[in-house]
Each structure stands twice: as structure tokens, then as C-alpha cells.
Structure 1
């Protein structure tokens, strides 16, 4: 029997790399709508994007998927990629950009620990745009354990945030 050891608490997910059908269409979403910066292009087949100058947070490629279709319902794969915004105002800005681009929003939830907006990129990949509340504001049960909830998030109120 193997012994379980916890992962180092400083470990982070560095990036996500997505297969896309059309690189230009994917760039129009991640760069032009969400505002990520292109750090490198690999010809017409791949692009790497970043927030804040990191080498890349998102990779996009058509190496195995050019012209392809999204996975059918009931198949395995990525559920969603979650993009963490530093403030409610930054999340509100993202929501305003998404709405202005005419992109459908699938849902919006207040989880107590975070506020999250769910949508799909042009290739059908799930995207969560969210912000964490400060830990001191997280809901707790009587015993002090985390008590996450799922309530409807008022998108109009969020979008009006400065």
C-alpha cells in the first residue's frame, strides 16, 4: 500500500493548452474579447497567450484539430478552464466584453467563496471567468469547515461593478 503525501501548497497550474479548429477564431475570443496578449505565434498552427507578461497561460493549436468539431456530449475531456480575475471590477470588465461580443453566457453562480460566470469558447470548450472572495469572507459551517454554496449571481449587478 502506498502512502499518500500532499502536494506542495505552492504548486499552481501554469497553463492550459487547447486544441482548436480555427486559430484565428480562437484568437478573436481569447485575445480580442478576453484581452490576453499573444506572446508567440507558431506560424498559422499555434499561439501562446498571457496575462501580465508570463510566457503563456493559454496555448492554442490546430496540430490535431484543424477544421475539427467539438467532442460530442457524453464524451470525456476538458469540462472547463477557469480564469481567475484579481478583483470584482476586473471580472465585471470581462463580463462586459463578453456581452459586447454577443457571446452567450451559460450560467452565473455565487459560490460563497467566489463569483463565477460560465460560457463556451468558439470550439465549445467550457470557460469559467471568476474571482475569489477574500478568505475572511468565505462561508463557514458551525464547526469552522468551508460551507460553499451555489446561488444565482446577478450578472447585471456584476457588470455594473467598477
Structure 2
């Protein structure tokens, strides 16, 4: 067992090519709440990234409200940080869902089917129509891409059900 441990999940950084276009997607379309914006120029950010002359812009967002599954998402806590690198400019790559490295962000929504229609109306690229899983209750899942090709999962959990992503015993739990 580690002597020190991770105590919370602070933020998820999402690299984007056009910060304002991404703000329209994450804020206006998905409904995340705007928290703050920042610009970073050289100094500590260059030291932290080991990249001299860094310039970047950042918008910090958070889920708008409520409780999803077993995680409280209002108030302080996890944020989504949209980051546009001005210098050095970011190359753009898009990986298949099963590619390593590749990751996705999962947001809980009130209604996956309703959000699916909103996304279609807005011309968003979705991987497939919503899928319904049955287990200890029913939940709906949808994968889509943001304007930069970042993979996003949306899920909706039926009332009184166990969340599909609750911790389980994993082979690496011995560490």
C-alpha cells in the first residue's frame, strides 16, 4: 500500500484547436457551466511542461448541477479544462476508440435519448445511436466526438440502479 495516495480527481484537461468553438460545444450544447478563463505565458508553465516559451489559453468548466449516479457534481470539485496551445502549436491526431493511448470523458446527463436528438440537430458526429444496457436497472450510453475529435461518453442511469462504473476488485488492486 502506498504511503501517500490520490485523494481526489481535480480536473480533466482537453486539448483543443479553437477555444471559442470548443466553448460553444461544451457550454452551449452540452450545458457545462463556465467557471473561469486563464492565459499562461512561459514562466512556471514552461518549467512544468518542460517546453520553453509556452503560451496557452484555458477555459475552465464544470457540470451545471445535480447528482449523477453516486457522484455529487455541483459545487467545487472536478472541472473540465479546455486548453488551446498557442505556442508551441498542437499537432492534431485522432485515434480509434481502442487505440493506446486514447481516452474519453464520461458525462452524466438527464436523458441520453433527448441529448442524442440535440446532438444530431447540431450536426455532431456520434459513434452510434444510444445503447441501452440492462443489469441492476437500465442505463443508456452514447459515444460522440467533440469538434477536435476528442471522444466523449454520455450516460444516463435509471433511478434506483447500481452505476455501471462502481469500483470493483481489479487485478492491480494488490499494489
Q: Which moves more between the two structures, 120-129 or 17-26?
A: 17-26
Look up the SS of the partner of 1:127 in the other structure.
strand
Distance 1:109 1:76, change over 3 A: same
Decide which structure has greater strand share.
2
Among 55, 58, 76, the alignment partner of 1:46 is 58
Among 56, 70, 74, the alignment partner of 2:93 is 70
Q: Deviations over 1:41-61 (max 9, x none)?
A: 114711001223634531111
**Mapped contact 1:118–1:127 kept (Cα < 8 A):** yes
- Runs (5+) with no aligned partner, structure 2: 40-55, 66-73, 164-175
Q: Which moves more between the two structures, 62-71 or 109-118?
A: 62-71
- TM-score by length of structure 2 reads 0.59
- TM-score by length of structure 1 reads 0.63
Please report the RMSD computed on the Cα atoms of aligned residues, expressed in angstroms. Answer: 3.4
Look up the SS of the partner of 1:105 in the other structure.
coil
Count of residues in Structure 1 that have an aligned counterpart in Structure 2: 131
Moved over 6 A (4+): none
- Runs (5+) with no aligned partner, structure 1: 139-162
